[in-house]
Structure 1
């Protein structure tokens, strides 16, 4: 018997709750959950609970951003990391820290990083063209991501002291370690603003399974709705980058996980992707905490190790389908 969207959502959400409980129990210190002392209470409420909530926020942002980009560009390979949006937001963030424009704890940092995300989206649309093929979009995104990565590498190389270089480089890898309530508050505004935008434009995204000419005859202002959706993607991506750094491939994996469950309709892909993204990122984060290493592995590295092979598989499948 095939599950409907609500049943699938309930099952996925139940799994997320179980994995979140597991995520709370892992860490460098063992905790007596029945009768915690003062130090253990501080660890729970100041370290582990913010980390769990931040995982939910970042994963839902990346999953929704990936789904919006794939529906908007009609490209199953589109994703904020691959298309260079994350790289541009990260570049502006590092530049702000490097030149001392804003401190790392400033709430103005997401606003400036948003400019970088919007710049990345705009460059992608200009380079790919109005009726770009999936290959052209990926190539344009790779070019943008490479340029932003090279610029970030230059700033890191020219860092005034080795400690700044190490801290910024570790942040760029994407990590949920040592996060606090402040990181949650940095991510929250962009996500809160983006979700209503996507909700209001959801019917436009559903209709994009048809041609743009047909969508226009249905009463949608295609250019206006596209710009609003790109703004939402930039807000979601910026929120993630500013709070935890660059975590790639989660936005790519989540919509495909929904499709693998048998839900191919844009409505299901759009609203189940945040849930599957939370499931993926919690699994990745729990795994890196369970690994026995001298220093916790950034979750962005593990996500890339899983996501890059999947991207290769998807590219091969697309090539074979065209052949």
Structure 2
């Protein structure tokens, strides 16, 4: 399929889902009345629902989904591994640990930006540890092993904080955050998430040619003038910033960065560079659809969006493993 047409169709799908997300739910709101009242100087219940509840939820779902889809395509292209995901170098688990530490020490109640900042610092710290552990000129295998070690350490520290939590309410808050959700957020949290997401995306921009060259092997890419070490750590930093910013707000939402690149890769001719913007739009569409789907459950049934993406993504992950094994036989 033509790249421009594919991007246009996915962009139209994302915009449509954002509009649908503003007005659909367990308690749908009248579209035109809510729009009209939101333009008035006097706030009403409908205008507040639209601008302070539904709008930040839709924007956070779109940008977080785009971040996860983009970073998944980056990691799979960089590591030349179809099973790679943004959490492979510790950024997701590091962000989760940073945010959980903020919740554990109660810093979120004293400083409104503490939670997203904790997630970003956790992601950057985990990526730095992977860098120090693997070494500057590490091989792909060494990087993956270092990422697995840091992921395990971050999860162990999260378990320790859960074990030491001062009350059942603190445990509940941490556990619910880890399930992943785009609900109950304000525009302030969206604006805090946005700079890290945009900066990470900016660091990815322009590296499509280098990722295409990597498909021919590192030696060939070097002969084409690609600085492999610089490319690797620039993209790791980009993933840490973008994913850390998103995960610190939404909590742990898995499998978007794994599933979306796989579904869309055949449509771009299996070219990693062309897959980047397509995966960003696909990730936004997937998370928006998942968030819309959980709103259609009966009122009083609270399903976190991270649970739904895991229910969809886990069987797909098992399918990829079995497919890889068959290909090796």
TM-score, normalized by length of structure 1?
Answer: 0.89
Show the counterpart of 2:311. 305
Shift of 1:270: 1.4
Counterparts of 1:127 and 1:219 in 2: how far apart (Å)? 24
Residue by residue over 1:114-138, the C-alpha shift from the partner in whole angstroms, topping out at 9 and shown as x without a partner, is 34223434555656961429xx94x
Show the counterpart of 1:236. 242
Shift of 1:26: 1.8
Shift of 1:161: 2.4
Trace 1:162-241 onto structure 2 (pairs within 5 A): 162-241=168-247
Show the counterpart of 1:130. 139
Show the counterpart of 2:300. 294
1:239 match: secondary structure: helix
Trace 1:86-125 onto structure 2 (pairs within 5 A): 86-100=92-106, 103=109, 106-107=112-113, 109-121=115-127
Would you say 1:50 and 2:59 are equivalent positions?
A: no
Counterparts of 1:267 and 1:24 in 2: how far apart (Å)? 32
Counterparts of 2:109 and 2:76 in 1: how far apart (Å)? 34
1:155 match: secondary structure: helix
Residues 263 and 289 of structure 1: CA distance in aligned 2, closer, same or farther (over 3 Å): farther
Q: Is the 8 A contact 2:26 2:296 kept in 1?
A: no
Would you say 1:161 and 2:167 are equivalent positions?
A: yes
Counterparts of 1:289 and 1:102 in 2: how far apart (Å)? 27
Counterparts of 1:105 and 1:177 in 2: how far apart (Å)? 20
Would you say 1:151 and 2:157 are equivalent positions?
A: yes
TM-score, normalized by length of structure 2?
Answer: 0.88
Q: Is the 8 A contact 1:97 1:104 kept in 2?
A: no
Would you say 1:22 and 2:20 are equivalent positions?
A: yes
Shift of 1:184: 0.5
Which residue, 263, 266, 272 being the options, matches 2:278? 272
Structure 2 portions without partners, runs of 5+: 38-43
Counterparts of 1:39 and 1:202 in 2: how far apart (Å)? 46
Shift of 1:293: 5.5
Residue by residue over 1:60-83, the C-alpha shift from the partner in whole angstroms, topping out at 9 and shown as x without a partner, is 111111111111111111112355
Show the counterpart of 1:39. 45
Residue by residue over 1:286-315, the C-alpha shift from the partner in whole angstroms, topping out at 9 and shown as x without a partner, is 111111253421100111111111111111
Residues 178 and 113 of structure 1: CA distance in aligned 2, closer, same or farther (over 3 Å): closer
Residues 174 and 228 of structure 1: CA distance in aligned 2, closer, same or farther (over 3 Å): same
Shift of 1:157: 2.8
Q: Is the 8 A contact 1:60 1:278 kept in 2?
A: yes
Show the counterpart of 2:321. 315
Counterparts of 1:262 and 1:204 in 2: how far apart (Å)? 16
2:78 match: secondary structure: helix
* Matched pairs, number: 318
1:317 match: secondary structure: helix
Show the counterpart of 2:260. 254
2:313 match: secondary structure: helix
Of 94-103 and 11-20, deviating more is 94-103
